[in-house]
Amino acid sequence: MSLPADFQWGFATAAFQIEGATQADGRGPSIWDTFCKINGKIAHGANGDTACDSYNRTGEDIALLKQLGSKCYRFSLSWSRIIPLGGRNDPVNQKGLDHYRQFVDDLLEAGITPFITLYHWDLPDELDKRYGGLLNRTEFPLDFENYARVVFKAIPKCKNWITFNEPWCSSVLGYNSGYFAPGHTSDRTKSAVGDSTREQWIVGHNCLVAHGRAVKVYREEFKPTDKGQIGITLNGDGTYPWDPEDPADVEAADRKIEFAISWFADPIYFGKYPDSMLKQLGDRLPTFTDEERALVQGSNDFYGMNHYTANYVKHKTGTPPDDDILGNLECLFYSKSGECIGDETQSFWLRPNPEGFRNLINWLSKRYGYPDIYVTESGTSIKDEDKLSMEEMLEDDFRVKYFDDYVRAMAKAVSEDGCKVKGYMAWSLMDNFEWAEGYETRFGCTYVNYNEGQTRHPKKSAEKMKELFEEVMEKN
């Protein structure tokens, strides 16, 4: 059981979750700044104004990464810090660009490989107000292409690019349930706008086209000289049939992955949406124009995989409601025979199941022709961690076991199953703003004391990471 000697391991974060400094140096507001101001949307009325104060602590964060032995660091850029109003005819904020360019220089000097995500859910708010943001099929992809070009030109030293983080979340949580910014949903008790039967599919399509445009720009204008790679990061859970003897549950277990992952991956690898989605959604799923298909198909140099958990999947009968996003099925933590998927965590949707991780790596590898996979997020919250003392939080043995089990399962997928996994980035480097859950849910391998100046204290899971990877990686 071993990973290659050049395996990239490290930690991941996202701009809005850690940076703070939301009004510093010319940054404009994002849809999350606006969403946080709506009463009742974020636990305890929290916001990202200060977060972990990482915008002002890049040196401290790099020193932490170096201390932990991290080979790479995945982080995202704040679009509205770079182009405050967001659009292709709007001014570029040089201070924002310079900040990220310097950060990349400093990471490289410390021997840490940067992986940059262009979009981690924080659209410039002006674009949402101007033309509906991600819902606009014409304007949004063009503005994203422009933003990507500005960044590629400014930071040629970065060789690893991710266009979108989890477009499923931007689409479904932003435009179906309304749980994430900008909060669209058909539920009028939660939002005055939104159509949960259609908007998520439109947004997903537009994200794919925008991704394709950015990849085309990188490949044609920058890759020949910069020699980097570019891909997209998709999220999805492992699945098991609730009743393995029932063919309908076996089929539903695959369909769950198709509705979560293949929704985006199939157009990229095959040029079309999955048959299961076409069958259920009909004309609610947008149709690719020839130009869009040409942009999207083949637009991945690697597969970015975000993964946390697994479910037992039980099929449903009858016609699914028009706002169904799962594929006419239900996800359960217990199987028909009473087996539990894993231990409870602080996150209602997350229970550790390392074998589900290995299975999903294999499922994706077989379906998409064994691409290079980078696990760009993986990690766990801990039940009631926020109620513990600092000393107790630092002894996060539950998280230590999660990473140990998951990394070993991944190593088996590589060494025994022949999958090509090239990197693993733990979510997250530090406790941070956990979106709608505010600061009460902690995913960090480093404890952040929000009450005492955002000080950082590595937990046991952070300290053990280097030891774990030294054990499972081949020696040079």
Residues recognised as catalytic: 166, 377
CA gap 463, 394 in Å, rounded: 10
Per DSSP, helices labelled H in 218-332 are 223-226, 247-257, 263-270, 275-281, 290-296
Of the candidates 388, 409, 404, 399, which has an alpha carbon nearest to the alpha carbon of residue 444? 399
Residue 186's CB: how many other CB atoms inside 10 A?
18
User: Residues 252, 423, 203, 314: what is their CA dihedral angle, to the nearest 10 degrees?
Assistant: 10
CA gap 226, 378 in Å, rounded: 29
Cα 147–chain centre separation: 19
Burial class (CB within 10 angstroms; exposed 0-12, middle 13-18, buried 19+) of 188: exposed
CA gap 176, 186 in Å, rounded: 7
User: Buried b vs exposed e over 89-111: b needs ≥16 C-beta within 10 Å?
Assistant: ebebbeebbebbbebbeebeeee
Of the candidates 76, 66, 54, 45, which has an alpha carbon nearest to the alpha carbon of residue 430? 54
CA gap 417, 422 in Å, rounded: 14
Backbone dihedral region of 13: left (phi > 0), alpha (psi from -120 to 50 degrees) or beta? Answer: beta
Residue 83 DSSP class: S
SS (H, E, C) 93-128: CHHHHHHHHHHHHHHHHCCCEEEEEEECCCCEHHHH
Residue 29 DSSP class: P
3-state class (DSSP) for residue 182: coil
Radius of gyration for the chain, computed over Cα atoms and rounded to the nearest angstrom = 21
CA gap 246, 329 in Å, rounded: 14
CA gap 391, 380 in Å, rounded: 19
